Amino acid sequence: MTSGNDKGAPPSGGRPARTAIKAIRGTRDLLPDQTPLWNRVEATARELFGRYGFGEIRTPIFEATELFARGVGEETDIVSKEMFTWEDRARAASEKAQSLTLRPESTAGVVRAYIEHKLGETGALSKLYYIGPQFRRERPQKGRYRQFWQIGAEVIGPPSSGSESPLRDAEVLEMLASLLNELGVRGWRLELNSVGNAEDRARYSAVLREELARVKDRLCPDNQRRAETNPLRVLDSKDEQDQEIINGLPKIADFLGEESREHFRQVRAALDACGVEYHVNSRLVRGLDYYTRTTFEFTVQTGLGTQNALLGGGRYDGLSEMLGGPKAPGIGFAIGEDRLILVLEEQAKQDAEAAAAKPSEPKLDVYIAPLGVERNPAALALARELRREGLRVEVGDGSFKLRKSFDVANKVARAIVLLGEDEIASGVLTVKTFATGEQVKIARVELVGCVRAGRSRDMEPGPASQ
Ligand code: HAM
């Protein structure tokens, strides 16, 4: 009991009670019952990337804000509203104050590292993969977090290394299809598009700008601004009221020049050759400015709700130059690891439910019902004979009423064998199979073969298990 003057004091004296500190909205703890799946996914990815000649790169978790502003693009949702940015004070005369940002994605950082460490000077392709956290100030919901993990890879190099070849695009896509299959992801769908080269995009943007000028008054304020500064970004707006207008805008596919068209044709031909299924989606422009030519997303219907993009990527042939580097075409992707895990967990749950819903297999092949206690020794002898042949057998008791024998047998076995005086004398047994209700007379010598045949029939896969 508390008296009026000790209001607010802790019940047992000592320090005042404190509210518990919780993880920040949009961030999560991964506990020991969750991390084994994360580790399995990461180990599978590392092993597979190794088979394709990729090596790991680890870049800093924060970078200069300008890297993302220049690389990802000022007008993108990511840069204009989702970055965790702060002004970092100088701590010594030798330091400069600067704007820093927690990385919202890793492609810009990887290309910065490629330039900084002059990886292109070897003349070879750089094939780099990374696994790590990214940060975006998005509205959290299932599959969308403020700190999330990506498993990504980039293939980049001087043009002489073959970095522009459509074969690189197809190889990356084939690798992703293999990874998802090896992880056991079911029902994925590859959406593929080409957003053209810089000239195609300039032509398309000009037309889009004109079209948008006509409908500008009906657009939300964000899209009104984008319609002038970066019309392509209007296409990935999530504003619901603007969707009808956006759907009526011209498509980039109609503005691709011959070079881009041929590049895209060759990507598709290589995918066809290795049997990777895809769906061309001419609306897929992706929400980052650096993309040129091939863009793609893998979606799944299970487990992600509205966030159905499991991974995304594409080609970025001008990014290195945008960041002050040499010409270095590249292509890459990033898988949302949190989303991948959600899908795998959901699919495992579905599998468990399907297994539970399947009628459980009776444990035994036959149940021998002696008809009267005097038949017990013969029943045991028959059971011994059948068990020696490898059958799974239960023996009842002659004191059981026939009804009881049937009830017990139905629970534990697929068939019941009745053993009465006549059966023993004639050597012809009465056998009833519960699944079919069929009751037959079988010579004792044929019993083993019949039971085995019934067992393998039951084990044949039905249409539902395919
Ligand atoms: P992105 O499409 O922005 O591309 O992100 C890739 C994937 O990261 C998405 O498909 C999604 O699965 C996951 N993701 C994005 N935001 C969140 C979030 N808030 N919560 C959970 N998962 C999320 C990129 O990041 C590019 N850097 C990909 C790339 C690499 N392009 C070329 N190379």
Average pLDDT, the chain: 91
Rounded distance, CA 276 to CA 432, Å?
Answer: 51
Residue 10: pLDDT over 70: no
Q: Where are the beta strands (DSSP E) in 41-105?
A: 55-56, 62-64, 85-88, 98-102
Which pLDDT does position 283 carry in this prediction? 83
Instruction: Considering only residues 391 and 456, tell me which one the structure prediction assigns the higher pLDDT.
Output: 391
Complete DSSP assignment for 237-290: ---GGGHHHHHTSPPGGGG--HHHHHHHHHHHHHHHHTT---EE-TT---S-TT
* Cα 331 to averaged position of ligand 1 atoms, centre (Å): 14
Which pLDDT does position 14 carry in this prediction? 65
* 346-394 confidence digits (pLDDT tens): 999 999 998 888 876 667 999 999 999 999 999 999 999 999 999 999 9
What single DSSP character describes residue 144?
B
Residue closest by Cα to atom 16 of ligand 1: 144
Tell me which residue has tokens 């005086």: 421
Report residue 437 CA to chain centroid gap: 45
With a 6 Å cutoff on the Cβ, whether 188 touches ligand 1 is no
Length of the chain: 466
Which range (14-18, 199-203, 278-282, 448-452) has the least confidence? 14-18
Which pLDDT does position 92 carry in this prediction? 84
Residue 190: pLDDT over 80: yes
At 414 the three-state DSSP class reads: strand
* Cα 306 to averaged position of ligand 1 atoms, centre (Å): 15
What value does the mean pLDDT take over residues 170-199? 97
Q: Determine how many CB atoms are found less than 10 A away from the CB of residue 129.
A: 23
With a 6 Å cutoff on the Cβ, whether 233 touches ligand 1 is no
Q: Are the C-beta atoms of residues 188 and 227 closer than 8 Å to each other?
A: no
Residue closest by Cα to atom 21 of ligand 1: 144
What value does the mean pLDDT take over residues 437-443? 91
With a 6 Å cutoff on the Cβ, whether 315 touches ligand 1 is no
Residue 6: pLDDT over 50: no
Alpha helices in 52-124 (DSSP H): 65-68, 77, 107-116
With a 6 Å cutoff on the Cβ, whether 334 touches ligand 1 is yes
Query: For residue 272, which amino acid is it?
Result: D
* 223-274 confidence digits (pLDDT tens): 999 898 889 889 888 888 999 999 899 999 999 999 999 999 999 999 999 9
Rounded distance, CA 172 to CA 176, Å?
Answer: 6
Which pLDDT does position 15 carry in this prediction? 73
| Predicted structure pTM score | 0.78
* 33-59 confidence digits (pLDDT tens): 999 999 999 999 999 999 999 999 999
* Cα 126 to averaged position of ligand 1 atoms, centre (Å): 21
Which pLDDT does position 144 carry in this prediction? 95
Residue closest by Cα to atom 33 of ligand 1: 332
Q: Are the C-beta atoms of residues 371 and 420 closer than 8 Å to each other?
A: yes
With a 6 Å cutoff on the Cβ, whether 317 touches ligand 1 is no
With a 6 Å cutoff on the Cβ, whether 194 touches ligand 1 is no
* Cα 22 to averaged position of ligand 1 atoms, centre (Å): 26
Which pLDDT does position 457 carry in this prediction? 64
At 31 the three-state DSSP class reads: coil
Rounded distance, CA 153 to CA 105, Å?
Answer: 12
Complete DSSP assignment for 345-401: HHHHHHHHHHHHHSPPPPSEEEEEEESSGGGHHHHHHHHHHHHHTT--EEE--TTS-
Which pLDDT does position 304 carry in this prediction? 80
With a 6 Å cutoff on the Cβ, whether 68 touches ligand 1 is no
Q: Are the C-beta atoms of residues 366 and 415 closer than 8 Å to each other?
A: yes
